[in-house]
A and B are shown apart, each in its own frame.
Chain A
């Protein structure tokens, strides 16, 4: 069975968790507890955000930075020895 390494887990759960929190989790919270979301004739959603939109952006950015750090780590940490051992 092929499983995540420790670095994989950080990228998958912390990075993906932050992206999903910003996109999905806060979105769900806005629907449940936020103000009404009237949609204009042009399809635009006009409402007061419960969680400030810039905070939401920073949460997603942080998740993307974790993914980026993981991608760079995978390249940097790969050596002939780690590759033979399948450790990266």
Chain B
């Protein structure tokens, strides 16, 4: 089963063939890989509770490009919020991707989280291993999943997509894969 893609990119006609089963296969492999990455990171923090992100949002982030935003959360209620939201967010993003549930929403927040990790870890380390890091690749995979939507491949979004709620509210359809 091969689909022929015909479109235009940068003003030029583009035509190529894609194997449908391999496309579905790679979408779900990517989803599981980055999903487990996040789920593991989130569960680890819950299992070793309490989690304190102070060293990151208050220490490491200071002096980086994202400092004006991130250091707002470096103490008090902001830090308490981050201490819960990082592990909870990672767990939910991971679950969303592994289960294929609200896949686009999960991938969007995965990309957002990766952007914080990418710039803060990269800049504090002086980009010593170059600017293409695991976090940038993670960010791009999340963006790819959010763009293509992969939740309907062996995922719960296939069930959600048939619900009346998503028929009646087309905006919500952007949250699922």
Contacts and interface: CB of A to CB of B under 8 A. Distances in A.
A78 B73 CA distance: 33
A3 B174 contact: no
Interface residues of A, number: 30
B131 A54 contact: no
B1 interface: no
A38 B175 CA distance: 46
Contacts of A61: 65-66, 115, 119
Interface stretch (B23-31, B32-40, B122-130): B122-130
B50 to A, nearest CB: 31
Interface residues of B, number: 30
A71 B65 CA distance: 22
Given A1-B8, A57-B119, A67-B143, A75 B129 contact: no
Contact of A4 (B8, B127, B136): B8
Contacts of A1: 6-8
B126 A53 contact: yes
A3 B131 contact: no
Contact of B128 (A3, A27, A45, A78): A45
A13 B115 CA distance: 20
A22 B108 contact: no
Contacts of B175: 75
A8 to B, nearest CB: 10
A75 B174 contact: yes
A48 to B, nearest CB: 11
A58 B8 CA distance: 30
A80 B170 CA distance: 6
3 closest A-B pairs by CB: A44-B128, A57-B65, A83-B170
22 contacts: A1-B6, A1-B8, A2-B7, A4-B8, A4-B9, A22-B131, A23-B136, A27-B131, A44-B128, A44-B129, A45-B128, A53-B123, A56-B131, A57-B65, A57-B119, A60-B131, A61-B66, A74-B174, A75-B171, A78-B170, A79-B171, A80-B170
